[in-house]
């Protein structure tokens, strides 16, 4: 009787433990991204890109956790993820302040953190566990300024930028890049994200006599400036930041309002360019019901590089870190290779709208802008 | 001409903010506490208009009655969830419940519609007209007219109808109103419905020209709060004046200064008003601040 009870208990325990043990053999990749809060648009794209890549490979499992917008929530999510011993790498959020809070943990647990955050400081702190797969401001703002100067031929830019950390960082890089090209902006102003009416700012900017409007704003404010500028009859070229390339930003505007509007970006999946890119965009539309942007594609490429590392035998921790630091990867958006600091993306594109559709065309590619590869 | 254009834009924006502030004050007077979900109700109204426009491709003015009615229903739900169970507790508890509800609304909108900003249809048609030489968006003029009609309607409701008198009696002193046979619980619920309807209307008005995103609610509640503090805690007329002042800082003052400086000046003006008139420009109508 006793033997029978023991056997039954053992059988139940085995039923519970064995599948868990079997599951533990499949490594888990935590995807910690902000799918709520003010960066949820970008965070959702990041999540979708990771899912597209990771779902296609049965040799790994993944778990998506929302990090919201506070560093504390992100750190808690990371600690929770690291309780599992089968975690060898973490996909970190696009939000720079969260990534900065998570960096010490990555070092403590010796786990690579893969992100698409553009915050420059992340790769300037000497932390060998960070890998950034989206071109930072050091790349995109040089491309931005060069396009304005070399292709638009403008010499008197007016710069409108967001008052957030994102906006100020980009603004500083833009001014630097313009200075290197011998150009001084005729007008500069920061805008709060809650500002709804841009009429006054545009009037002041135009009073300075600019020959181009250069924007470095989030999605909604970018669309507001473009719409209100066109409504005020301002017809000088507008060269915007990467928010303008996002299909959801263009969707807010009429195609006619987009005429003469260009934007920098890491890539533009909806613009096509190769059969693989078109397949990615088509699959993404089917799976998520909306258009992919450069953030989704960058995260997709990053996750695919992790899978490539895994298939090469680098499954996590220091071996994975060394593999990511020492190998190049041919992604859909670009070739990724570390510059020694964890910056993997070094290319940027400029897209422009023709005034007849909301799908932009890639008009200029800048490769290896920062000399990182 | 430029000043006229800025003034019209500012007044139109202020009119929409005034609807939010009006809803804020009505709830404040009825419950003695701040409904922190008011800003998220604005975004809910905006997204409702976006969703309806997908089903009924008609001008926004035809969607407005549907949005107002649906938002009134949502207002009743907000009252049922965040006020009714806590009606005998200190006002601070409603703070928490409405903050929580606001987060639920925000994340619900995010989950259903996605995080990207959306645009509702214009009230009548898009485009611009010339007013004394200034180029003005038709939508701005339409916002101004519709908001004025709604505010006048609320004024008439509160001032000229028996229901309005009961609502005001409940807001002034719930215990006395109850002793007089007024069903004060129902009146507070109706106030929530009215406040949500006004917020929903503001959402529809703002969502075309200024777009709407699930996270916009925080900005709206801050502006409404400032408007109410400037105008006088609990003063309906003061809230409207305060809302107009907030919008004029965003447009007219920002024409002379950097936007960030204009925002700083708005807060400086707020502090100056409170220093000179601690009870706001028009004095307080609600004794306790919650």
Q: Among A20-34, A145-159, B75-89, where is mean pLDDT lowest?
A: A20-34
Give the pLDDT band (50/70/90) at residue B49: very high
Residues A256 and A310 in one domain: no
Q: Which residue has the tokens 């006048």?
A: B152
Q: What percent of chain A shows pLDDT beyond 90?
A: 77
- Asked if B260 and A190 come within 8 Å (Cβ–Cβ), the reply is yes
Q: How close A116 gets to chain B, by Cα (Å)?
A: 18
Beta-carbon contacts of residue B262 (< 8 Å; ≥ 6 apart)? B249, B250, B253, B254
> Structure tokens of B105?
């609304």
Q: Which residue has the tokens 């300075």?
A: A208
Domain that includes residue A224, residue range: 138-265+349-366
**Alpha-carbon dihedral angle through residues B53, B58, B63, B66, given to the nearest 10 degrees:** -80
Tell me if B230 is assigned to some domain.
Answer: no
Q: pLDDT at residue A180 above 80? A: yes
Tell me if A270 is assigned to some domain.
Answer: no
> Regarding predicted confidence, which is higher, A192 or A22?
A192
Tell me if B228 is assigned to some domain.
Answer: no
> Structure tokens of B236?
């309906």
Give the pLDDT band (50/70/90) at residue B272: very high
- Asked if A252 and B13 come within 8 Å (Cβ–Cβ), the reply is no
Tell me if B264 is assigned to some domain.
Answer: no
Chain A, residues 207-266, CB within 8 A of chain B, namely 219-220, 223-224, 231-233, 246, 248-249, 251-252
Beta-carbon contacts of residue B277 (< 8 Å; ≥ 6 apart)? B283
Residues A90 and A182 in one domain: no
- Asked if A251 and B259 come within 8 Å (Cβ–Cβ), the reply is no
Nearest CB among A191, A203, A248 relative to B259 is that of: A191
Residues A289 and A234 in one domain: no
Q: What percent of chain A shows pLDDT beyond 70?
A: 92
Q: Which segment, B194-203, B207-216, B243-252, is predicted with the most confidence on average? A: B194-203
Domain total of chain A: 2
Residues A226 and A194 in one domain: yes
Helix ranges (H only) for chain B are 2-31, 38-55, 60-78, 91-113, 138-160, 162-172, 174-179, 184-209, 217-231, 236-248, 254-256, 259-276
Tell me if B225 is assigned to some domain.
Answer: no
Q: How close B215 gets to chain A, by Cα (Å)?
A: 6
Angle CA B187–B188–B190, to nearest 5: 65
Residues A130 and A142 in one domain: no
Residues A259 and A315 in one domain: no
Whole-Å CA distances, A332 to A275, A303, A357: 10, 12, 24
What are the tens digits of pLDDT across the range A228-284? Answer: 999 888 999 999 999 999 999 999 999 999 999 999 999 999 999 899 999 999 999
Q: Per-residue DSSP letters for A261-290?
A: EEEEES--GGG--SHHHHHHHHHHHHHHSS
CATH number at residue A305: 3.40.50.2300
Q: pLDDT at residue B2 above 90? A: no
Q: How close B74 gets to chain A, by Cα (Å)?
A: 22
Q: What is the pLDDT of residue B135?
A: 79
Tell me if A3 is assigned to some domain.
Answer: no
Q: Tell the burial category of A307 from Cβ atoms under 10 Å away from its Cβ (0-12, 13-18, 19+).
A: middle
Tell me if A215 is assigned to some domain.
Answer: yes
What gap in Å lies between CA A94 and CA A105, rounded to an integer? 17
Residues A332 and A359 in one domain: no
Q: How close A218 gets to chain B, by Cα (Å)?
A: 11
Tell me if A169 is assigned to some domain.
Answer: yes
Closest CA to A303 of A333, A272, A348: A333
Nearest CB among B13, B216, B218 relative to A197 is that of: B13
Q: pLDDT at residue B63 above 80? A: yes
Q: What is the pLDDT of residue A6?
A: 54
Q: How close A191 gets to chain B, by Cα (Å)?
A: 6
Q: Which segment, A60-69, A146-155, B84-93, B246-255, is predicted with the most confidence on average? A: A146-155
Residues A197 and A338 in one domain: no
Tell me if A373 is assigned to some domain.
Answer: no
Angle CA A180–A184–A189, to nearest 5: 120
Per-residue exposure over B118-140, b if at least 16 CB sit within 10 Å of its own CB, e if not? bbbbbbbebebeeeeebbbbbbb
What are the tens digits of pLDDT across the range A273-317? Answer: 899 999 999 999 999 999 999 999 999 999 999 999 999 999 899
| Residue of B42, B116, B244 to mutate, interface with A, max A Cβ within 10 Å | B116
> Structure tokens of B190?
């109706």
What are the tens digits of pLDDT across the range B148-171? Answer: 999 999 999 988 999 999 998 998
Which residues face A161 on adjacent strands?
Answer: A190, A216
Residues A147 and A116 in one domain: no
Chain A and chain B share a number of CB contacts under 8 A equal to: 94
| Residue of A161, A163, A168, A197 to mutate, interface with B, max B Cβ within 10 Å | A197
Of chain B, the end-to-end C-alpha distance in Å amounts to 43
Whole-Å CA distances, B135 to A203, B1, B92, B130, B131: 13, 8, 47, 5, 6
Q: pLDDT at residue B285 above 90? A: no
Q: pLDDT at residue B3 above 60? A: yes
Q: Tell the burial category of B9 from Cβ atoms under 10 Å away from its Cβ (0-12, 13-18, 19+).
A: buried
Nearest CB among B9, B110, B258 relative to A36 is that of: B110
| Residue of A42, A43, A189, A220 to mutate, interface with B, max B Cβ within 10 Å | A220
Tell me if A100 is assigned to some domain.
Answer: yes
Nearest CB among B117, B213, B259 relative to A189 is that of: B259
Does A194 contact chain B (CB < 8 Å)?
Answer: yes
Beta-carbon contacts of residue A140 (< 8 Å; ≥ 6 apart)? A118, A170, A241, A242, A264, A265, A266, A348
- Asked if B116 and A219 come within 8 Å (Cβ–Cβ), the reply is yes
Question: Which chain B residues are within 8 Å of A158, Cβ to Cβ?
Answer: none
What gap in Å lies between CA B202 and CA B208, rounded to an integer? 11
Domain total of chain B: 1
- What mean pLDDT value characterizes chain A? 91
Q: Which residue has the tokens 């990207």?
A: B116
Q: Which residue has the tokens 């009416």?
A: A197
Q: How close B261 gets to chain A, by Cα (Å)?
A: 10
Q: What is the pLDDT of residue A15?
A: 47
Q: Among A167-171, A336-340, B148-152, where is mean pLDDT lowest?
A: A167-171
Question: Do the beta carbons of residue B259 and residue B220 sit within 8 Å?
Answer: no
Tell me if A353 is assigned to some domain.
Answer: yes
> Regarding predicted confidence, which is higher, A73 or B260?
A73
Q: What is the pLDDT of residue A24?
A: 45
Tell me if B261 is assigned to some domain.
Answer: no
Residue of B nearest to A233 (CA): B135
- Asked if A200 and B260 come within 8 Å (Cβ–Cβ), the reply is no
- Helices B184-209 and B162-172: crossing angle, nearest 10°? 100
SS3 B132: coil
Q: Which segment, A189-203, A327-341, B119-133, is predicted with the most confidence on average? A: A327-341
Residues A27 and A115 in one domain: yes
Beta-carbon contacts of residue A121 (< 8 Å; ≥ 6 apart)? A96, A100
What gap in Å lies between CA A85 and CA A82, rounded to an integer? 7
Question: Which chain B residues are within 8 Å of A226, Cβ to Cβ?
Answer: none
Tell me if B274 is assigned to some domain.
Answer: no
Domain that includes residue B117, residue range: 2-215
Give the pLDDT band (50/70/90) at residue A19: very low
Residues A115 and A201 in one domain: no
What gap in Å lies between CA B12 and CA B143, rounded to an integer? 6
Residues A131 and A165 in one domain: no
What gap in Å lies between CA B52 and CA A16, rounded to an integer? 49
Does A201 contact chain B (CB < 8 Å)?
Answer: yes
What are the tens digits of pLDDT across the range B121-138? Answer: 999 987 788 888 777 888
Other CB atoms within a 10 A radius of the CB of residue B141 amount to 18
Q: pLDDT at residue A89 above 60? A: yes
Beta-carbon contacts of residue A150 (< 8 Å; ≥ 6 apart)? none
Residue of B nearest to A194 (CA): B219
> Regarding predicted confidence, which is higher, A170 or A120?
A170
Residue of B nearest to A189 (CA): B258
Q: Which helix (H) or strand (E) holds A351?
A: strand A348-352
Q: What is the pLDDT of residue A7?
A: 55
Q: Among A77-81, A82-86, A354-358, B186-190, where is mean pLDDT lowest?
A: A82-86
């Amino acid at each position: 009787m006793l033997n029978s009870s023991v056997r039954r208990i053992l059988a139940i325990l085995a039923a519970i433990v064995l599948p868990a043990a079997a599951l533990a053999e499949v490594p888990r990749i935590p995807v910690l991204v902000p799918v709520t809060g003010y960066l949820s648009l970008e965070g959702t794209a990041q999540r979708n890109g990771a899912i597209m890549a990771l779902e296609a490979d049965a040799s790994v499992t993944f778990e998506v956790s929302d990090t919201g917008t506070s560093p504390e929530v992100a750190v808690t999510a990371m600690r929770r993820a690291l309780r599992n011993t089968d975690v060898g790498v973490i996909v970190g959020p696009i939000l720079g302040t969260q990534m900065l809070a998570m960096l010490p943990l990555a070092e403590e647990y010796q786990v690579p953190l893969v992100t698409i955050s553009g915050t420059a400081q992340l790769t300037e702190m000497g932390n060998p566990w960070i890998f950034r797969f989206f071109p930072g401001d050091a790349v995109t703002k040089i491309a931005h300024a060069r396009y304005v100067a070399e292709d638009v031929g403008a010499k008197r830019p007016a710069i409108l930028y967001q008052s957030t950390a994102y906006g100020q960082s980009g603004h500083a890089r833009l001014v630097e890049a313009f200075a290197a090209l011998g150009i001084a902006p005729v007008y500069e102003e920061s805008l709060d994200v809650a500002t709804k009416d841009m009429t006054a700012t545009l009037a002041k900017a135009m009073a300075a006599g600019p020959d181009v409007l250069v924007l470095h704003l989030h999605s909604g404010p970018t669309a507001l400036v473009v719409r209100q500028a066109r409504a005020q009859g301002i017809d000088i070229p507008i060269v915007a930041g990467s928010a303008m390339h996002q299909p959801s930003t263009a969707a807010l505007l009429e195609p006619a309002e987009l005429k003469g509007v260009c934007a920098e970006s890491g890539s533009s999946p909806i613009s096509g360019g190769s059969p693989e890119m078109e397949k990615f965009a088509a699959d993404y539309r089917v799976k998520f019901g909306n258009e992919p942007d450069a953030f989704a594609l960058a995260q997709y490429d990053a996750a695919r590089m992790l899978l490539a590392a895994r298939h090469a035998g680098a499954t996590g921790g220091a071996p994975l870190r060394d593999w990511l630091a020492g190998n190049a990867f041919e992604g859909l958006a670009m070739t990724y290779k570390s510059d020694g600091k964890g910056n993997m993306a070094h290319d940027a594109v400029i897209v422009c709208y023709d005034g007849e559709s909301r799908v932009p065309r890639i008009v200029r590619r800048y490769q290896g802008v920062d000399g990182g590869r | 001409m430029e000043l006229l254009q800025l003034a019209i834009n500012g007044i139109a924006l202020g009119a929409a903010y005034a609807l939010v502030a009006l809803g804020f004050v009505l709830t404040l007077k009825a419950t003695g506490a701040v409904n922190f979900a008011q800003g998220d109700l604005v975004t809910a109204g905006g997204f409702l208009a976006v969703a309806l426009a997908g089903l009924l491709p008609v001008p926004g003015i035809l969607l407005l009655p549907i949005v107002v009615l649906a938002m009134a229903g949502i207002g009743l739900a907000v009252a049922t969830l965040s006020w009714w169970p806590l009606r005998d507790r200190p006002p601070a508890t409603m703070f928490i419940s409405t903050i929580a509800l606001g987060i639920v609304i925000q994340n619900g909108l995010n989950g259903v519609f996605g995080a990207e900003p959306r645009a509702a249809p214009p009230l009548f048609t898009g485009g611009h007209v010339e007013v004394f030489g200034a180029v003005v968006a038709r939508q701005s003029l339409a916002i101004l007219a519709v908001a004025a009609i709604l505010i006048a309607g609320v004024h008439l409701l509160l001032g000229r109808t028996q229901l309005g008198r009961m609502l005001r009696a409940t807001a002034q002193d719930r215990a006395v109103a109850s002793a007089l046979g007024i069903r004060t619980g129902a009146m507070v619920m109706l106030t929530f419905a009215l406040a949500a309807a006004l917020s929903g209307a503001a959402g529809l008005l703002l969502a075309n020209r200024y777009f709407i995103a699930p996270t916009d609610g925080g900005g709206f509640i801050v502006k409404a709060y400032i408007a109410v503090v400037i105008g006088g805690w609990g003063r309906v007329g003061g809230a409207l004046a305060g809302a107009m002042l907030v919008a004029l800082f965003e447009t007219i003052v920002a024409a002379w200064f950097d936007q960030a400086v204009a925002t700083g000046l708005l807060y400086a003006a707020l502090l100056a008003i409170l220093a000179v008139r601690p009870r706001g420009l028009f004095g307080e109508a609600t004794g306790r601040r919650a």
